Amino acid sequence: MRYERSGESFRRLREVREGRGFDTGSFLVDRDGAIVGFDSGMERLTGWTAAEVVRRASSSPVLAQGPLPPGRRDSVDLTLKTKDGALLEVEASVARPDPVSDHAIVSVLRVIARAEDEIEPPPAGRDTLTGLESRATFTGRLETELRAASGTGRPVAVVLADVDRLRAVADLHGPTAATRVLVKLGGILRAGVRDEDVVARFEDDDFGILFPGLGRGTARQIAARLRSTVERFRFKSKHADDEGVGITLSLGAASYPADADNVHDLLARAKEALDEARALGRNRVWCYTRRPRVPLRTPVFLDGTSPHLLGYSQDLSPSGLFVATSSVIDVGMRCALSFPLPTAQGKVHVIGRVVRTVAAGDPRAEETRGPGVGVEFEKFGPEDRRAIDAFLFHSEAAALPGPRARAFSV
């Protein structure tokens, strides 16, 4: 499976990604697998007309895999063939009007990835494995975008992505499986961004995404959707009974002009954020910020009608804090927290998500000086945010001779 070819189906996929209402469609399949109904959404998505596929001997012109799974399924991954030869990986639902029905209604929920049949080699300058842009092309485009942005003031964001523990996939399933993961991942990344964005494979399992005109916050939102899509996707082989391989991504984001004003520094800042995401346990998106974390030992409470002492913080940053505690809280748990600050009256109240846990006996416990949890702030009131910013500014001004830079961290 190769690079995205320009043409009518590429235009349709762009319309899907831009949310023009072409991201859904439905078709009706009988007990023998023949398509007996095909709506306008499917026509726009695949390029096939109803007259070309309805009452064919089988659904093979549209459905690239075997028979649909029996019974009702809220979500199933399918591969569709477009009329111009491309393959669309989609998430769909399968419903049957009643338990004994001979027909199934298949509704496409969203496009996950797009790939081409392995017929043509990628054009010069592209990665030979995935068909994505090369690192040199990516860097050249980034230089061009930064020159243009210096005159217009519009932002430019960069996201670097790394496959978590791809070597383990190769060890468990073989090098061919790892190669298939990289090829399919390229299609997922390309299908999940805009046409004007640049997706490149730098080397091995390292990828870069360039977002012209987007700030760090918007780029992070897109990166979060990509991370979630990859986490849910099963990278299957050509064997129908293969359960597939699951992988995750770590991503780091930085932007012009907030974080850097040249190519080298912008990529370095995004790499710093990526390293922080991996250090925090992988499978997350992290953003670069110039603010360092500040050592702080203060009691942290689980908020509620009767606040409960969770533990004592070790440090604080604009993005969150690390709390030394023996309480076991799962990664992903959202908690209401409160804690006092030396420069504020009363407590600061926040809602945060647990992004890191260090249990007693964990090798990382020495680094964190014992067990605890890392919490990323997700919501707080204006006064609470100002109180945190004021404390950090006061601490930096008192301790640092000049500005420092490090990654967004908790």
Contact (CB, 8 A) for 34 and 55: yes
Find how far residue 36's CA is from the centre of its chain: 36
Q: Which CATH superfamily is domain 294-407 in?
A: predicted glycosyltransferase like domains (2.40.10.220)
List, by residue range, all CATH 2.40.10.220 domains of the chain.
294-407
3-state secondary structure of 299: strand
Which CA distances in Å does 229 have to 90, 111, 235?
Answer: 11, 10, 12
Contact (CB, 8 A) for 409 and 288: no
Is 128 or 114 the better-scoring residue by pLDDT?
Answer: 128
Closest CA to 28 of 125, 105, 81: 105
Which of these ranges, 57-61, 301-305, 377-381, has the smallest mean pLDDT? Answer: 57-61
First to last CA, the chain: 40
- What is 135-289's CATH number? 3.30.70.270
| pLDDT score, position 334 | 83
Q: How far apart (Å, rounded) are the C-alpha atoms in residues 101 and 62?
A: 22
Let me know if 312 is exposed, middle or buried by CB neighbors in 10 A (0-12, 13-18, 19+). Answer: middle
Q: How far apart (Å, rounded) are the C-alpha atoms in residues 7 and 11?
A: 6
HSE value, Cβ hemisphere, 13 Å, CA-based, for 404: 15
- Per residue in 134-191, pLDDT (tens digit) is 999 999 999 999 999 888 878 899 999 999 989 888 888 888 888 888 988 998 898 8
List, by residue range, all CATH 3.30.70.270 domains of the chain.
135-289
Q: How far apart (Å, rounded) are the C-alpha atoms in residues 317 and 334?
A: 18
Q: Which CATH superfamily is domain 12-115 in?
A: PAS domain (3.30.450.20)
Q: Considering the entire predicted model, what is its pTM?
A: 0.57
- What is the DSSP track for 89-104? EEEEEEE-SSTT-S-E
Of these ranges, 18-32, 116-130, 312-326, 350-364, the one predicted with the greatest mean pLDDT is: 312-326
| pLDDT score, position 70 | 64
* Percentage of the chain lying above the pLDDT 70 cut: 78
